[in-house]
């Protein structure tokens, strides 16, 4: 595996220094990098795996410290002044990353420029980025697709209801494959190929019993922050609260994930100051730190920011700066990461562990309102999270439409592209607790520790309060503990 990785890097004109080889001595890094080379991942991705893996919690025989965390993706590039060229490279990178996934699934794929002078009908496939979409008066959908050689229109009609339904869900900027009959700069489409994640035939399970806890949207500092309920949750993690069964479970909790919006922040929406009990954001984070320091050291705590947290709102969001959480930066069991982030947990010499993709979920509002099948699903916006998560996994991207979130273009690779298929996909933001599954990926959305604000009410968000999702990693079965009404446990 080492030779394959080194050969790949040399082919890409990367100088392989001794420090790089030393990193490959770690079996987890070696396995991950070798798999990426096998899948022909970008050289940037392979180097990030080898060079930028931040912390690896030690694996020991002592049960108090047997829990392992390996950071696979944590965006920490310094911000640069952006220009038009950065956006061009960013979208080109996205196209290439997704093209690699779709291409093996197509027959007779050709570039768009080769279609422009065709006069004979021919069955072909193309890969293109969607630049326009509209519905004609005769109820046909016309998509304009663009690759690096040109653009072309694809027509979809109602004769194939499933295909037409899929075409109605297509959004600007996503990259798809289209197959059909081409003639005179038009494709009469009969198939759409998405970069969708593969079906996992076997659900990964840990060889030993351990638990992971998932929460989000604490909003500490708000007048609506449910302080007593959150303190009860912390007491449970310390083993001081709960039924006998809950106390037995918490003894084997090794991981706690917090998917953004740790504090309420300030200036997020008009009139927010009237709904703050702590006006100073530094004081909000100081209070949050007090809670985290109470959690037993054996529990690895993985934290990403959300749109209420300090720092830029553009995604990928860098980790919360040390000036706000200085004490947490000194704690060995705390992992402060970017939004999004990818970590591997609970690996050992005989188990590859679980890949957990964390994304706060700022783009979810857009897809809940603008995707035809999701908007007309009969569910309220707060209940659409699992549909949105499935939609994003199918697109292999956390914000496939550029206007769904404020994004920061990266000229080397698209950091919102879902390259590694996760075992767990964890989000927050919508304030609605949910658990679902898609093609073997467990989808988790966290509830809120803040009662409904006037801003949420305006947008139709009905929060789920103080629901803690816990997964048994050995059985992959969830448990929900309701801390809004402490002691009401459902499984």
> Is the Cα torsion angle 83, 86, 88, 90 positive or negative in sign?
negative
Q: Is residue 138 part of a domain?
A: yes
3-state secondary structure of 94: helix
The lowest-confidence range among 71-75, 181-185, 487-491 is 487-491
Structure token digits, residue 478: 């969830």
pLDDT of residue 61: 34
- Tally of domains within the chain: 3
- Distance between CA atoms of residues 407 and 342, nearest Å: 18
Q: Is residue 112 part of a domain?
A: yes
Cβ–Cβ < 8 Å for 242, 481: yes
Task: Indicate if the pLDDT at residue 196 is higher than 70.
Answer: yes
**Same domain (yes/no): 187, 229:** no
**Same domain (yes/no): 266, 381:** yes
**Same domain (yes/no): 349, 461:** yes
Q: What is the CATH number of the domain that holds 183?
A: 2.40.50.140
- Distance between CA atoms of residues 291 and 235, nearest Å: 10
- Distance between CA atoms of residues 434 and 386, nearest Å: 7
**Same domain (yes/no): 13, 131:** no
Q: What is the CATH number of the domain that holds 234?
A: 3.60.21.50
Phi, psi of 70 (to 5 degrees): -125, 125
Q: Is residue 69 part of a domain?
A: no
Show the CA angle centred on residue 246, arms to residues 253 and 251, nearest 5°. Answer: 35
- Distance between CA atoms of residues 112 and 314, nearest Å: 33
pLDDT of residue 19: 67
36-46: pLDDT as tens digits = 888 778 877 88
224-257: pLDDT as tens digits = 999 999 999 999 999 999 999 999 999 999 999 9
Q: What residues form DSSP beta bridges with 214?
A: 257, 469
Q: Is residue 436 part of a domain?
A: yes
The lowest-confidence range among 59-73, 140-154, 304-318, 327-341 is 59-73
- Distance between CA atoms of residues 188 and 211, nearest Å: 51
Q: Is residue 84 part of a domain?
A: no
Q: What is the band of 215 on the pLDDT scale with cuts at 50, 70, 90?
A: very high
Q: What is the band of 65 on the pLDDT scale with cuts at 50, 70, 90?
A: low
Q: Minimal CA–CA distance to 275: which of 124, 247, 284, 103?
A: 284
DSSP string across 205-238: --SS--EEEEE----BTBTTB-HHHHHHHHHHHT
**Same domain (yes/no): 189, 215:** no
The lowest-confidence range among 72-86, 408-422, 477-491 is 477-491
Q: Is residue 131 part of a domain?
A: yes
Q: Is residue 89 part of a domain?
A: no
**Same domain (yes/no): 22, 153:** no
Task: Indicate if the pLDDT at residue 381 is higher than 60.
Answer: yes
pLDDT of residue 265: 87
pLDDT of residue 164: 96
Q: What residues form DSSP beta bridges with 122?
A: 182
Burial class (CB in 10 A: 0-12, 13-18, 19+), 198: exposed
The lowest-confidence range among 39-48, 53-62, 432-441 is 53-62
Helix (H) or strand (E) holding 246: helix 244-250
Q: Is residue 128 part of a domain?
A: yes
Cβ–Cβ < 8 Å for 173, 91: yes
* Of 474 and 463, more confident: 474
Instruction: Give, in order, the Cα–Cα distances in Å from 292 to each of 281, 289, 327, 410.
Output: 17, 5, 10, 33
pLDDT of residue 57: 42
Question: In 39-72, which residue ranges form alpha helices assigned H by DSSP?
Answer: 43-51
**Same domain (yes/no): 361, 445:** yes
**Same domain (yes/no): 373, 456:** yes
pLDDT of residue 491: 43
**Same domain (yes/no): 418, 277:** yes
Mean pLDDT of 65-91: 88
pLDDT of residue 82: 82
Q: What is the band of 27 on the pLDDT scale with cuts at 50, 70, 90?
A: low
Domain that holds residue 13: 2-53
pTM metric for this prediction: 0.85
- Distance between CA atoms of residues 397 and 368, nearest Å: 15
3-state secondary structure of 114: helix
**Same domain (yes/no): 188, 236:** no
Q: What is the band of 175 on the pLDDT scale with cuts at 50, 70, 90?
A: very high
* Of 188 and 269, more confident: 188
Query: In whole numbers, what is the pLDDT of the chain averaged over residues?
Result: 89
pLDDT of residue 204: 94
């Amino acid at each position: 595996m080492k030779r394959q990785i080194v050969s790949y890097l040399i082919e890409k004109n990367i100088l392989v220094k001794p420090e790089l080889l030393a990193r490959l001595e770690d079996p987890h890094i070696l396995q991950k990098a070798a798999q990426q080379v096998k899948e022909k991942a970008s050289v940037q991705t392979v180097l990030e795996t080898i060079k930028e893996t931040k912390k690896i919690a030690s694996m020991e025989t002592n049960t108090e410290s047997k829990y392992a965390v390996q950071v696979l993706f944590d965006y920490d590039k310094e911000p640069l002044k952006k220009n038009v060229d950065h956006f061009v490279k960013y979208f080109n990178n996205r196209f290439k990353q997704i093209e690699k996934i779709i291409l093996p699934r197509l027959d007779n794929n050709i570039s768009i420029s080769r279609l422009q002078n065709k006069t004979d009908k021919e069955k072909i496939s193309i890969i293109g980025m969607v630049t326009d979409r509209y519905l004609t008066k005769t109820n046909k959908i016309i998509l304009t697709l663009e690759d690096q050689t040109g653009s072309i229109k694809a027509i979809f009609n109602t004769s194939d209801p499933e295909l037409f339904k899929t075409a109605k869900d297509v959004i600007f900027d996503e990259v798809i494959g289209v197959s059909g009959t081409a003639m005179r700069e038009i494709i009469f489409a009969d198939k759409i190929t998405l970069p969708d994640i593969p079906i996992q035939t076997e659900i990964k399970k840990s060889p030993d019993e351990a638990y992971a806890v998932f929460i989000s949207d604490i909003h500490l500092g708000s007048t609506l922050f449910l302080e007593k309920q959150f303190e009860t949750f912390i007491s449970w993690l310390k083993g001081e609260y709960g039924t006998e069964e809950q106390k037995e479970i918490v003894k084997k909790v090794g991981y706690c994930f917090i998917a953004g919006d740790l504090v309420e922040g300030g200036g997020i929406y008009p009139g927010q100051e009237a709904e703050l009990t702590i006006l100073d954001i530094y004081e909000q984070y100081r209070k949050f730190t007090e809670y985290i320091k109470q959690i037993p050291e054996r529990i690895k705590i993985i934290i990403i920011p959300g749109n209420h947290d300090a720092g830029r709102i553009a995604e990928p969001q860098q980790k919360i700066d040390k000036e706000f959480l200085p004490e947490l930066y000194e704690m060995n069991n705390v992992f402060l990461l970017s939004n999004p982030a990818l970590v591997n947990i609970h690996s050992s010499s005989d188990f590859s562990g679980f890949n957990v993709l964390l994304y706060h979920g700022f783009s979810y509002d857009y897809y809940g309102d603008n995707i035809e099948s999701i908007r007309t699903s009969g569910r309220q916006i707060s209940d659409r999270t699992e549909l949105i998560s499935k939609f994003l996994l199918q697109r292999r991207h956390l914000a496939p439409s550029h206007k769904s979130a404020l994004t920061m273009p990266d000229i080397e690779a698209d950091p919102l592209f879902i390259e590694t298929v996760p075992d767990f996909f964890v989000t927050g933001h919508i304030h609605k607790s949910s658990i679902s599954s898609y093609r073997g990926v467990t989808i988790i959305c966290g509830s809120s520790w803040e009662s409904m604000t006037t801003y949420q009410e305006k947008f139709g968000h009905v929060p789920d309060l103080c629901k803690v999702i816990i997964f048994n990693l050995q059985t992959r079965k969830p448990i929900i503990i309701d801390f809004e009404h402490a002691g009401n446990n459902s499984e």
